[in-house]
A and B are shown apart, each in its own frame.
Chain A
Amino acid sequence: DAMVIQNPRYQVTQFGKPVTLSCSQTLNHNVMYWYQQKSSQAPKLLFHYYDKDFNNEADTPDNFQSRRPNTSFCFLDIRSPGLGDAAMYLCATSRDRGRLTPQHFGDGTRLSIL
């Protein structure tokens, strides 16, 4: 059974039109992460939540926001998508931070910008 679920698998939006990607988890993990992965590149961490504590990476554009209303759900909001934001967006969870807490990934949402 899928433990980190991302919806939708494919999302198409228009240039400048806000879009929200969804992630849910059944693992009851404390930490949830959002990564951006462009074609033929490694995943790049955008931000993470440790419980309700939001941690942004220094180079994440302001256009990207996140919400975590409860333990199970986390959302990625892109306020005004540009063509350069077309990518696969991966959600991951871990029981805790660092140490022996591997990150478990969902199948991703592929975002296209028209």
Chain B
Amino acid sequence: GEDVEQSLFLSVREGDSSVINCTYTDSSSTYLYWYKQEPGAGLQLLTYIFSNMDMKQDQRLTVLLNKKDKHLSLRIADTQTGDSAIYFCAALPGGGATNKLIFGTGTLLAVQP
């Protein structure tokens, strides 16, 4: 089955760019999502990308997808202290035939003022 992996921790300074990486194993995962979770809260959908796209930009967020390497990244430009949270990458395998999201373990982003 699908396996999604992320690095556990990233620390950046306020104003710098953050890049959070994710790898997945199932090439049939055609829908890939990024969620943000602040302490004690639920998951907030940030953005998503389809496998027929290489890049998607949404304000300060840029998602890059390398289908060959099954690698996904989320770049946050001009990172702010309010961006401190856990970021989950999630894949929807099976070409979207099922709705079972497979989550990575999450990357804790710490933004230093």
Contact residues of A with B, CB < 8 Å?
4, 6, 31, 33, 40-43, 45, 48, 57, 90, 92, 94, 97-108, 110
Interface size class of B (residues with CB under 8 A): 20 to 34
Contact residues of B with A, CB < 8 Å?
31, 33, 35, 40-45, 48, 50, 88, 92, 94, 96-101, 103-106
Q: Quick check: B96 and A43 within 8 Å, CB to CB?
A: no
Q: Quick check: B41 and A103 within 8 Å, CB to CB?
A: no
Cα(A98)–Cα(B28), bound, Å: 13
The residue in chain A whose Cβ has the minimal distance to the Cβ of B48 is A102
CB<8 Å pairs between A and B, sample of 6: A42-B103, A42-B106, A45-B101, A92-B43, A100-B50, A103-B45
Cα(A100)–Cα(B12), bound, Å: 32
Q: Quick check: B105 and A104 within 8 Å, CB to CB?
A: no
Cα(A57)–Cα(B96), bound, Å: 17
Cα(A90)–Cα(B44), bound, Å: 12
- A106 contacts which chain B residues (CB < 8 A)? 42
